[in-house]
Structure 1
């Protein structure tokens, strides 16, 4: 399986082309699941685990690896399908989410497929609200379920969403300047993310420092929304201070959304911040390739709040 991953760093040319590669796996059942290859660091056989005191039931234990202690999570139990019958000897997908490494216990890792984001769709409404899917797709005659890993991690290792330093000086300076000009500061932010957990995290973070948010679920929905604004004769900057976009989204990814916005003369001035858990493989070259104005790895409430507050400074507003 290591051969499947030894060329991951060569796959970054997919950025901005609305394509991705999925690592397919199973969880002791017939269902096929997928995870973005960009998230995966390596695949190992589950070793002996050390018990963790007061552990969450999903956390099986900690493995001692060459890279240090690695928490191992039972992915089957996490999505409500019962505990894995076998642990030792099963496969572990080692991945980076939100600046931390985790190991996800799975039954069997299969192979990698190359697919277009347009072939990945939001979960059907029939699954209800209490589910762990962020998207679905097809491979042959099988349905691929893409799990909302951020939701799982947030449940067992909640993020610190407290904003310690709201940069009140930046706010006061911006308000004073704009009040002198007889205009109120634009404090509405367009937030684009397919994970309901991530959308709500960003919303709570920004509302804590006085902003309002418009929440959308994917890049296609966001681009169509911006098109409607321009068709009405307005500019996106009339409606929004900036756009914060995830990268991994069904229908249209954040890379493609950013590139299309920056290529559109009626939208290109909209400040765009990419905000994603793809921190382990993301680099400055990708930001420049699609024309994004900035990038922040998920999830640091202070870092995100500060980045948005910076947009209210007189120099930024100009």
Structure 2
């Protein structure tokens, strides 16, 4: 079910998505959470031992589990929801997921493999992106771990978690490493504006750092709908140098952005670069079929520099 890559790619073409709905506590009316199915490699019950992290075992990370010889970091999702970057020394053990077995979602995204400990799986739901609301519309603050929401069958709210933010919270050293990766890239001489489309605040921040390092102007949009509305209302299309868009976004997906930009005679000349953690061969092929001008692994600075140098003729 989860490995059906071609089916998931076709969902993107119809501006649809599948979410795994899961719970983190035993309450009968417990909050439902969700993440994109396409980021999931497998779901397992893990009965084996895991290697605890060095030092106090009171943070987000529980340690490392071994799956078919592969060592994978394990994060307690309930602990993460109670984590605050303003109080990194807080003891999160009282918020641990309690269960007889460890139910673990193994995920692959942004060149990382990670295990997420949850309590229970509800089911997989299919939604049109128009049925998914941007988190900020529900008043979530800037440090929120919820990137968007949608509704379950009974009308209850499902909170879609920002897994990119979870990665940086669990492994803060990765944000520092991104600074080292920026060192080789050089300024691009251009007055063109780069349009960035990304619903994850942490991922958008990474993109912005790269574009600033390239010394380019940019505007950031939290979803594809707002980007498309901007293109329709803007009278300065000629000043746009490129669009860099995520694939999975509330309201309008990245593939839908690509389709509409390339089908519009006024905007089809604008280079559209897909920036996604879901870099499967099928997604890359579909992007090519839809005339994407590039497909890069999530916020890879060198790949972004190479493509923008290619399309910004004033460098």
TM-score range, shorter chain: 0.7 to 0.9
Contact 1:161 1:300 in 2 (8 A): no
1:194-205 mapped onto 2 (5 Å cutoff): 194-205=199-210
Partner SS state of residue 11, structure 1: helix
Indicate the residue corresponding to 2:54 in structure 1: 53
Of residues 92, 113, 137, the one that matches 2:104 is: 92
Partner SS state of residue 134, structure 2: coil
Indicate the residue corresponding to 1:190 in structure 2: 195
Indicate the residue corresponding to 1:182 in structure 2: none
Partner SS state of residue 265, structure 1: coil
In structure 2, C-alpha distance between the alignment counterparts of 1:38 and 1:67, rounded to whole Å:
23
The verdict on how the C-alpha distance between 1:67 and 1:20 changes in structure 2, with shifts beyond 3 A counting, is: farther
Contact 1:46 1:87 in 2 (8 A): no
Query: Does structure 1 residue 206 correspond to structure 2 residue 211?
Result: yes
Deviation at 1:144, TM superposition (A): 0.7
1:130-279 mapped onto 2 (5 Å cutoff): 130-140=143-153, 141-157=155-171, 158-159=174-175, 160-162=177-179, 163-167=182-186, 171=188, 185-229=190-234, 232=235, 234=236, 236=237, 238-279=238-279
In structure 2, C-alpha distance between the alignment counterparts of 1:108 and 1:155, rounded to whole Å:
23
Partner SS state of residue 279, structure 1: coil
The verdict on how the C-alpha distance between 1:56 and 1:84 changes in structure 2, with shifts beyond 3 A counting, is: closer
Deviation at 1:281, TM superposition (A): 6.1
User: Runs of 4+ in structure 1 displaced over 6 angstroms?
Assistant: none
Of residues 11, 16, 23, the one that matches 1:19 is: 16
Unaligned runs of 5+ in 2: 84-93
Deviation at 1:11, TM superposition (A): 3.0
In structure 1, C-alpha distance between the alignment counterparts of 2:12 and 2:240, rounded to whole Å:
25
Deviation at 1:35, TM superposition (A): 1.1
In structure 2, C-alpha distance between the alignment counterparts of 1:25 and 1:44, rounded to whole Å:
14
Unaligned runs of 5+ in 1: 176-184
In structure 2, C-alpha distance between the alignment counterparts of 1:128 and 1:166, rounded to whole Å:
33
In structure 2, C-alpha distance between the alignment counterparts of 1:142 and 1:271, rounded to whole Å:
40
**Matched pairs, number:** 293
Please report the RMSD computed on the Cα atoms of aligned residues, expressed in angstroms.
2.1
